[in-house]
Chains A and B, each alone.
Chain A
């Protein structure tokens, strides 16, 4: 119990205390503590990524071994990871190397297209969800439409009232105002709550009240 629970909790408390105090004591020692913690964190993270790689190969290896549904794709995933690592270590990672070409012509197109797919899905989801059932839902819908129109040249072109009376704002002006004023107020209100929440959670972790990060079991 001492080695498995109490000492780890003591490490959390001591580290929390040291890193918390160093912020309020501006000195070269504080800077050293902060820099060392960051370097140590990076080194621990390095080994953490090794753990991630082991999990990846183990999970896909198990799928291949058990001939799980669509297991050939696991072979693809493992083969591509080894191929990418090999070309990176063997031929370098400068411009126009196989490594950078694989990054530019495989990873970038796939990730870019995957993210762009979301435009179709959130638009169809919005069609179903954004019914103007109440005044507040209408406010959401109107704000979304104005911001979308204000982000494209079309918004500027269809703002016909602006041509009749230039003092009136265009869709772009209204979209910018929505983003910078009411949207800012909403985000700031939420941000304040999140900030206070982070502080409370951190305090609970340092004091050992919150222990879920340690995992279950002995």
Chain B
């Protein structure tokens, strides 16, 4: 065991335990870690936005390539900042409407393509009882139909319709359970990552043997 002499590793371990201390109860160490995260994230964001967006997307095109049309979105952006001035906050609507309107226009065909047509296409596969894939395709087809019927509230869930809707609940329950299990394991692997950091990077324990 060789305890690290790297002050950065010590800092990492200190913040790891500060956050874990929340499992006991809310305390100043957790609050410190929380506020440090917010501060560091803001500072990180500033630097990244400056280098990855402001310089290549605005400064260079406008001041070096002479693409003056980009001054229009800059003006819209400045109007957005006016949101903090109550008298002129309505001017921010121009920028918001530009972004939201365009985004909504893009979303209509793209959502139809990606979330509806592609998904329907992927559901309507070869159905059959002779192969495992064919049986799985039947389960998926029936499941999608049942879930859709469950979410159709314009007709009362009674009789055959109600029965299919109930089947939809079964599929949803299995889906939620699977998602829950998957999320728990993903979070546990993050926890294992933190434990490994303390054991290997800080305490210098070689787990590989």
Which B55-107 residues sit within 8 Å CB-CB of chain A?
57-58, 70, 72-74, 76-78, 80-81, 83-84, 89-90, 93-107
Asked whether, in the complex, the Cβ of B143 is within 8 Å of the Cβ of A189, the reply is yes
**Residue of chain B at shortest CB distance from A13:** B101
A122 to B31, CA, bound (A): 21
Min distance, Cβ A51 to any Cβ of chain B, angstroms: 5
CA distance A17 to B104 in the complex (A): 9
Least distance between B155 CB and chain A CB atoms (Å)? 15
Q: Smallest distance from the beta carbon of A54 to chain B beta carbons, Å? A: 6
Q: Beyond A78-B39, A84-B39, A181-B136, is A89–B146 a contact (Cβ under 8 Å)? A: no
Q: Which secondary structure characterizes the binding site on chain B?
A: helix
Count of chain A to chain B residue pairs whose CB atoms are closer than 8 Å in the complex: 404
Give chain B nearest CB distance to A7 CB in angstroms.
8
Q: How many Å from the CB of B137 to the closest CB on chain A?
A: 9
Hey, what's the 0/1 contact readout for A1-24 against B, CB within 8 Å counting as 1?
001100111011111111111011
CB-defined contacts of A8 to chain B, threshold 8 Å: 93-94, 96-97
Residues of A within 8 A of B34 (CB): 73
Which of A43, A80, A122 is in CB contact (< 8 Å) with B187? Answer: A122
Asked if A110 and B97 sit within 8 Å, CB to CB, the answer is no
- Contact residues in B for A103 (Cβ distance below 8 Å): 40, 44
Check B43 against A84 for contact (C-beta < 8 Å): yes
Question: What total of chain A residues lie within 8 Å of the partner, measured CB to CB?
Answer: 126
Closest-CB distance, A79 to chain B (whole angstroms)? 7
Count of residues in B whose CB is under 8 Å from the partner chain: 114
- Please determine whether A49 and B49 come into contact, CB atoms closer than 8 angstroms: yes
The verdict on A106 contacting B93 (CB below 8 Å), with A40-B72, A46-B77, A185-B171 known, is no
The interface residues of chain A, by DSSP majority, are classed as: helix
What distance in Å separates the Cβ of A218 from its nearest Cβ neighbour in chain B? 7
Q: CA A54 – CA B172 in complex, angstroms?
A: 43
B15, B96, B105: residue with the most chain A Cβ atoms closer than 10 Å: B105
B37 in the interface (beta carbon within 8 A): yes
In this assembly, does B148 line the interface, its C-beta being within 8 Å of a C-beta of chain A? Answer: yes
The one of A14, A44, A102, A178 that contacts B40, using a Cβ cutoff of 8 Å:
A102
Tell me if B15 and A39 are in contact (CB < 8 A). Answer: no
| Bound-complex Cα distance A40 to B151 (A) | 38
Chain A residue with minimal CB distance to B195?
Answer: A116
Say yes or no for A126: interface residue by CB 8 A criterion.
yes
- B interface, CB within 8 angstroms of A: 8-9, 11-13, 15-16, 18-20, 22-23, 31-47, 49-51, 53-54, 57-58, 70, 72-74, 76-78, 80-81, 83-84, 89-90, 93-112, 114-116, 119-120, 122-123, 136, 139-148, 150-151, 168-185, 187-188, 190-191, 193-194, 197
Q: What are 13 A-B contacts with C-beta separation under 8 Å? A: A40-B76, A41-B103, A45-B53, A47-B95, A48-B95, A73-B31, A83-B39, A116-B194, A117-B23, A143-B176, A186-B147, A195-B112, A205-B101
Nearest 9 CB-CB pairs, A to B? Answer: A84-B43, A185-B143, A195-B115, A189-B147, A47-B77, A186-B175, A80-B39, A143-B177, A147-B181
